[in-house]
Amino acid sequence: MKLAEKPPGRNVKQRVKNLLEALCKQMYREVTRSLFEKDKLLFAFLLTTTILRIDDALDQAEWMFLLTGLSGQPLAEIANPEPNLFSETAWETILHASNLKRFTGFAESIAENLEDWKAYYNDVENNKAPAPYDAVEPFRQLIIVKVLRPDLFVAQTKKFINDVLGDFFTTPIVFTLDDSFKESTTPVTPLVFILSPGDDPLVL
């Protein structure tokens, strides 16, 4: 990345922050050039969570729960308040979530405020989770969606990435020959493209 393209900053701290953001975007741009479209969201998600973990902004127990759906602790004996809504497996996952430090009382909240949680369940994209879970951080919002509506997890993953890093990491990057030529190390080095069937090199 050329020095002239790096965003300016008024002080050293801001300058470092700007450089890290610019380098992160440049790295994402370069890596995603070689990825299939279906894999770009996964890479953006891993990049986002890695940054949070480096900044100590992501709880390890919550990270493992998101990956496995298990807490590694005994489950509380709380009856499923709505078997028609929550399957036995789904309710066990909710009980596991309740073992997480920041989700203490989660299962009880669902049982005691069932109608509010039903409203959230039926329209996750437009409703907030009942208090106090309406004000949790983006990663914990993602956990709630994973537990209650796993069918919406991919869509909410995009929102999570947008909330943490910005929409640059979820917006398709337009690839052009002009950009590749500008970034090439020398004007005499040939550019080699491997195209998928059906791609038209004339539109690049």
Q: Provide the pLDDT for residue 4.
A: 42
> CB atoms < 10 A from the CB of 192, how many?
5
What is the C-alpha to C-alpha distance for residues 7 and 21, in angstroms, rounded to an integer? 9
C-alpha of 48 from chain center = 6
Of 152, 197, 164, 147, give the one whose Cα is nearest residue 44: 164
Residue type, 193: F
DSSP letter for 74, please.
Answer: P
Q: Provide the pLDDT for residue 3.
A: 45
Q: pTM of the full predicted structure?
A: 0.80
Q: Provide the pLDDT for residue 190.
A: 74
Q: Spell out the per-residue pLDDT of the chain, length 204, in tens.
A: 444 455 555 678 888 888 888 889 988 988 888 888 889 999 999 999 999 999 999 999 999 999 999 998 999 999 999 999 999 999 999 999 999 999 999 999 999 999 999 999 998 888 888 989 988 999 999 999 999 999 999 999 999 999 999 999 998 877 777 777 777 766 677 777 777 676 666 655
What is the C-alpha to C-alpha distance for residues 109 and 133, in angstroms, rounded to an integer? 10
**Long-range contacts at 151-156 (CB < 8 A, ≥ 24 apart):** 152/124, 152/125, 154/41, 155/125, 156/124
Of 138, 140, 186, give the one whose Cα is nearest residue 165: 138
